Amino acid sequence: MAKDKSKFICQECGYESPKWMGKCPGCSSWNTMAEEREARQPKTAGVRGGFVSGREKAASITQIDSTREPRVLSEMAELNRVLGGGIVPGSLILVGGDPGIGKSTLLLQLSHSLAAKGQKVLYISGEESARQTKLRADRLGVLSDLLYVLCETNMDFIRDAVDEVAPQFLIIDSIQTVYQPDLASAPGSVSQVRECTGEFMRIAKGKGIATFLVGHVTKEGTIAGPRMLEHMVDAVLYFEGDRHQAYRILRAVKNRFGSTNEMGIFEMREIGLEEVANPSEVFLSERPIGAAGSTVVASMEGTRPVLVELQALVSPTNFPSPRRMATGIDYNRLSLIMAVLEKRIGLFLQTQDAYVNVAGGVKLDEPAVDLAVAVSVASSFKDQPANPYDVIFGEIGLTGEVRGVARAEQRIAEAKKLGFHRVIMPERSMKGWKAPAGIEIIGVRTVAEALEAALGDSGSPAAHVAAARDKRG
């Protein structure tokens, strides 16, 4: 009788090797190669080919029906926004986040909102008992007759439960606890996660059941398991936030049915997660007035403009190499902006430590926040506060120019709605639209001009630049 074959698989990236190695050649991680045995004849070997019944023929792309996929709207508008306008039937969605951030709470509240609309939901928990899930549901007030709960990790029993209940929505908490009994590897291994996800994909596509998978994250903040897991699903959502703060942010990093730039904001309370309808007002509620180093930036999160506070602290260093720290923005962008301030503006920052923080725990990754970072750093360095009723945005180039950004009119409309009086923005973004009444728009071409407008430094190089431009007419 033939022996079972064994191989070593990296638990970080899924690299396979016939022998054990201390360092994975695929991702360069140490001590991540684990031995897994291959079953000789798995039960599901005959159905692993696909999820479409029958054989399809190739057709011209002009003859394919392009009817838009119907979506199911939940009562959580923020989740609908992140998913691109609702839940697509038959989609497979992966939700990841740090432990204790509120993933189970979010999906349990989603289950209740769907069940309240007459949709049958099957919630499968592999980490909690039915009694624990019921206690959480009592606390959140999410009880419904159409919400079914099952505590199971065996894939065969889960498949039977889906056939018996016939739900419209399926929630698995979590994918790392589910296992295929045909595989000899332990639950959570690369082989188990890959095979179980493939089985849930066949269930979702074959039966038209929208399926949510909860995924654990590694210490680097990425989804645990093989990278193939994120390629198999239709959407990947990250639930982020600091457990010491009340606000949680839901981001889409992959979405086959919508944009990946959308962001949903929730507030964690005793009764569960509550949606934040106006995040700009919340993020600016504790903003200090007249403090040096504090500015307000208008950032776009998908189709939504969000105003957040940028704080900078510049102080002399006691070490040969000054320290740079960025929270909420890219560290490399901060280094680039400080180099521009030193080279083009003449700010002597070589002996200064610099700390930049985005208040509220928000992460800003678009280049439009560069100009606000530059103003914050210069304001703290000079100990000169900027106008607290200014909103600043724009991208900075290496030569000190301010480049245009997209959707400037939406950013300005959000600033006016919240009572700001003035906007400092790229001059190139002022074309093609009319500024609303009641708010002053200042277009700048260089960082020097922006600092002059924000800090009123008449002795800065911007004064000479502006004077030269006036002379040229």
Q: Give dist(CA 272, CA 151) in Å, integer.
A: 22
* 97 annotated to bind ligand: yes
Q: pLDDT of 417-460, one tens digit each?
A: 999 999 999 999 998 888 888 899 999 999 999 999 999 854 44
The class level of CATH for 282-472 reads alpha beta
Q: Give dist(CA 459, CA 443) in Å, integer.
A: 20
Contact between 240 and 52 under an 8 Å Cβ cutoff? The reply is: no
Q: Give dist(CA 201, CA 232) in Å, integer.
A: 8
What's the pLDDT band for 49 if we cut at 50, 70, 90?
A: very low
Instruction: Indicate the domain borders of the chain.
Output: 6-38, 73-277, 282-472
How big is the chain, counted in residues? Answer: 473
Q: What pLDDT was estimated at residue 50?
A: 54
* 102 annotated to bind ligand: yes
SS3 of residue 212 by DSSP? strand
Percent of the chain surpassing pLDDT 90: 54
Contact between 390 and 466 under an 8 Å Cβ cutoff? The reply is: no
Q: What pLDDT was estimated at residue 121?
A: 96
Which of 161-175, 207-221, 235-249 holds the top average pLDDT?
161-175
* 22 annotated to bind ligand: no
- Given a cut of 70, whether residue 69 has pLDDT beyond it is no
* 87 annotated to bind ligand: no
Angle between helices 331-340 and 370-382 (to 10 degrees): 60
* 103 annotated to bind ligand: yes
Q: Give dist(CA 444, CA 123) in Å, integer.
A: 54
* 49 annotated to bind ligand: no
Q: Enter the pTM of the model.
A: 0.75
73-277 topology per CATH: Rossmann fold (3.40.50)
Q: Report how far Cα 282 is from the mean position of its chain's Cα atoms.
A: 19
- Given a cut of 80, whether residue 464 has pLDDT beyond it is no
* 302 annotated to bind ligand: no
Tell me, yes or no, if the two domains 73-277 and 282-472 fold the same way: no
* 101 annotated to bind ligand: yes
Give the pairing of strands 390-392 and 294-301. parallel
Residues 6 or more apart whose Cβ sits within 8 Å of residue 280: 305, 306, 307, 308, 414, 418
Q: Report how far Cα 311 is from the mean position of its chain's Cα atoms.
A: 22
Which amino acid, one-letter code, is at 278? N
